[in-house]
DNA sequence: ATAAAAATTAAACAGTCGTTTAATTTAATC
DNA sequence: GATTAAATTAAACGACTGTTTAATTTTTAT
């Protein structure tokens, strides 16, 4: 007779890697809502529908799961950015800003994850995030800003040292502080937000006056 | 013979309230570095130099300590803002922005505390923060913006709905994401930063062209 | 002077955490 | 077909958590 009740033993093979993937997906969602320490292995395993010991079996320990989750979630995003940059698709601010905003809007777990682990010194994923992600985006923004200034597409009264920080603040904060934005300012962060917000940012950084028609 | 060794018993009276105050100060510093859940009462009590049972004796439970800490730390800040507003000292953006930036720079635990509990749904201090603090600052900013626009001191191509969000993003993000700013952008957030940053923000929002000399 | 209240301590309690172990079942190998 | 390896389970382990308790000392009130 075939086994029907649940119990120990190797399962009658389904997709290998299914358990691994389920754990990573559950980990991503849970670590976006809570920190490394506050989210428990039991929680994640329950959400993934697997035994909690599977975490240690597949990833060694809780930290191993977190790192694997990072690689499989922000890894692809970084690669997309690198490729777009190599093809010159994000050299201009008009391309980079909407792209960045859309990416944040499409991956609501990302800003949570970043801010949480950057603020939290408890686990030392700080360096990983800063070096692998923040520095890369900052570099792309910096190059786009320098290019825009050289071509006169950017207002000239900006301290170049602060340009990147202005862009970072404007593009990231609304997504990070979403509850404040939606409730204290009553601005819904919906599908349309990323587009309108990008326009506003670009307008803020445009040259202070359009070239008059009668001169140059 | 007088008692010399440590042990149970009422102490030979020092400042009443000393234990309470020590616990609140230690709680403020620890909750700025970790969340409500990750920081243990043993940690706080050890840092305050008192027995861990004092937390329950004076505040009932851990949550009571957290709430008392909030009242005695952000409480005064809110009152200062209210009084300044009543005296009309923050009606203009030129006054409000440097004041806000200086306040954040002077209380480095504040943005950490706010962002942490707003992002963390685990404890429900969200409402408290949003209603008592964020909404108040947002309101002051909104009024200052409206006033500035009416008097022509503000550029006219801003969506008024987004004005507050722009200011919030620019004034808060650098302090919230301090590690990213200092390491990925290499901008030190030191004593001089708040002033220079405020100038930059005001310049960004100034009318696109200063009134020409030959016409009103 | 005596009794009651207040403040403090060390110890214990019950719950949760991440991890390990032993048992068990299926798949792969020879 | 027998043996070994892989995958899964329930249970246990020790560490840590917030809280409570009983004992102890000092202060206050009668």
Write out pLDDT tens, residues B106-134: 888 888 887 777 666 555 677 777 777 77
Domains of chain B, earliest start first:
16-69 (1.10.10.60), 88-205 (1.10.357)
Contact A37 B33 (CB under 8 A): no
- Residue B162 forms contact with A (CB below 8 Å): yes
* Predicted pLDDT at B155: 85
Q: Quick check: A196 contacting B, CB < 8 Å?
A: yes
Contact at 8 Å (CB) between A145 and A165? no
Q: Count CA atoms closer than 13 A to A136's CA, side-chain side.
A: 20
Segments of chain A scoring below 70 in pLDDT:
1-5, 9, 118-124, 208-216
Assess whether pLDDT exceeds 80 at residue B171.
Answer: yes
Residue B48 has pLDDT above 90, yes or no: yes
CA-to-CA distance for B98 and A157, rounded, in angstroms? 19
Return the pLDDT at B216: 45
Closest chain A residue by Cα to residue B160: A200
The per-residue pLDDT for range A19-72, each reduced to its tens digit, is 999 999 999 999 988 889 999 999 999 999 999 999 999 999 999 999 999 889
Provide, as residue numbers in chain B, all residues whose Cβ is less than 8 Å from the Cβ of A208: 208-209
- Residue B33 CA to nucleotide C9 C1', Å? 29
- pLDDT over 90 percentage in chain B: 31
Q: Between B140 and B57, where is the model more confident?
A: B57
Greater confidence (A35 vs B69) lies with: B69
**CB < 7 A to strand C: residues 45-64, chain B:** 50-54, 57
Mean pLDDT of chain B: 84
Most A CBs within 10 Å, among B166, B174, B196, B199, to test the A interface: B166
Q: pLDDT at residue B44 above 90?
A: yes
Cβ within 8 Å of residue A183, ≥6 positions away: B130, B135
Q: Please compute Rg for chain A using Cα positions.
A: 22
Q: Are residues B41 and B62 in contact, defined by beta-carbon separation less than 8 angstroms?
A: yes
Annotate B28-75 with DSSP letters as a single string: HHHHHHS-TTTS-HHHHHHHHTS-THHHHHHHSSHHHHHHHHHHHHHH
End-to-end CA distance of chain B: 88
Q: Is the pLDDT of residue B18 over 90?
A: yes
pLDDT for res B23: 98
Q: What is the percent of chain A where pLDDT is above 70?
A: 88
């Amino acid at each position: 007779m075939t086994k029907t009740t649940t119990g120990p033993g190797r399962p009658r093979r389904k997709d290998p890697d299914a358990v691994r993937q389920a754990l990573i997906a559950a980990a991503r969602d849970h670590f976006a809502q809570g920190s490394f320490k506050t989210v428990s292995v039991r929680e994640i395993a329950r959400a993934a529908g697997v035994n909690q010991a599977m975490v240690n079996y597949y990833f060694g320990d809780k930290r191993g799961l977190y790192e694997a989750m990072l690689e499989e979630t922000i890894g692809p995003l970084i690669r997309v950015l690198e490729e777009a940059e190599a093809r010159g698709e994000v050299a201009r601010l008009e391309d980079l800003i909407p792209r960045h905003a859309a990416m944040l809007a499409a991956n609501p777990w990302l800003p949570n994850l970043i801010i949480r682990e950057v603020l939290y010194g408890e686990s030392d994923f700080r360096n990983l995030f800063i070096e692998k992600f923040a520095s890369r985006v900052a570099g792309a923004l910096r190059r786009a800003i320098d290019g825009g200034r050289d071509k006169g597409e950017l207002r000239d009264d900006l301290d170049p040292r602060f340009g990147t920080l202005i862009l970072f603040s404007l593009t990231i904060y609304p997504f990070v502080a979403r509850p404040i934005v939606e409730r204290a300012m009553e601005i819904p962060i919906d599908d349309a937000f990323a587009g309108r917000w990008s326009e506003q940012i670009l307008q803020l950084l445009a040259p202070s006056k359009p070239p008059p028609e009668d001169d140059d």
